[in-house]
Amino acid sequence: MQGITSKENEFIKHIKKLKDKKYRDISHEYVIEGIKLVAEAIQEKAPIKQIIVCDDCEKNAAIPKDLMYEIAKYECIYVTEKIFKYLSEVQTPQGILAVMDRNKQEIEIDYTQDIIVALDDVQDPGNLGTILRTVDSIGLTQILVSKGTADAYNPKVVRSTMGAIFRVKIIECEDLKQTLKEIKKHKFRVVVSSLQTDNTIYDINYHKKVIVIGNEANGVEPEIQKQADEKIKIPMLGKTESLNASVATGIILYEYVRQKRN
């Protein structure tokens, strides 16, 4: 067990720099924060490198004893409340965070699943986190993200996944169009959302499909639209013409759930 009291400590500087995407990419690490996320990371046996605990929080019993027992099995570093607030990304810190090893997962796509979700330049971190959580909720274990999609290891994304990031493999595609071509060779059909169709989400069978979710402002890019085997839209009864990307994803994916249950 180590104790750190200075912001000038090299390890503290390292954690602080993990707020930056470029540094996260270089170090292959990211940070999670909060009692629930750290507990879930332990439960899922996610690759935790270090756990940082606020000294005062431990004294005040803010962190449950059973969690304190579990984190003692890892490399634990204690810091002052001042240092912890300096590192924290939230307004009311719970006194615990962890440095995670970026999953050095195999990047192969699992073609045994019924559907594959692909994100085409989804920009908003909150949308990305919610989509990851939705994908996890329906039992999928992977997601494809284009190079222009928000960083999945952004602290806001990590928080909004509510632990799904430990269960869903994030496959970053250098060229999503080329990746879709490869997926088609495995007898998957590409499905995109579009207003230029009469087909709704209720008119297709969700088996061996790649569901492409587009950018919040521009939708699915034209070149990927051309690759689509099927186009669908969410039927609207009111005057609103479009929905938030994460809401739309949830509606589409739960039509898949409905069909699967039937």
Cα–Cα distance between 61 and 232 in angstroms, integer?
52
CA angle 219/223/224 to nearest 5° reads 60
**What CATH class has 2-101?**
alpha beta
pTM for this model (two decimals): 0.89
Q: Are 160 and 154 in contact (CB under 8 A)?
A: no
Which helix (H) or strand (E) covers residue 142, if one does? Answer: strand 142-146
Mean pLDDT of 151-177: 94
Q: Are 12 and 80 in contact (CB under 8 A)?
A: no
Q: pLDDT-derived band of residue 105, with 50, 70 and 90 as boundaries? A: low
pLDDT band per the 50, 70, 90 thresholds, residue 102: confident
pLDDT at 60: 60
pLDDT, residue 63, reads 84
* Per-residue pLDDT band at 2 (split at 50, 70, 90): low
φ, ψ of residue 179 in degrees (nearest 5): -60, -40
Q: Where are the domains of the chain?
A: 2-101, 115-261
pLDDT at 259: 94
Name the nearest CA neighbour of 158 among 90, 107, 110, 216.
90
d(CA 210, CA 200): 16
CATH 3.20.20.80 is held by the domain 115-261: no
Q: Is the pLDDT of residue 249 over 90?
A: yes
- The residue with tokens 């590409």 is 190
Query: What was the pLDDT predicted at 103?
Result: 63
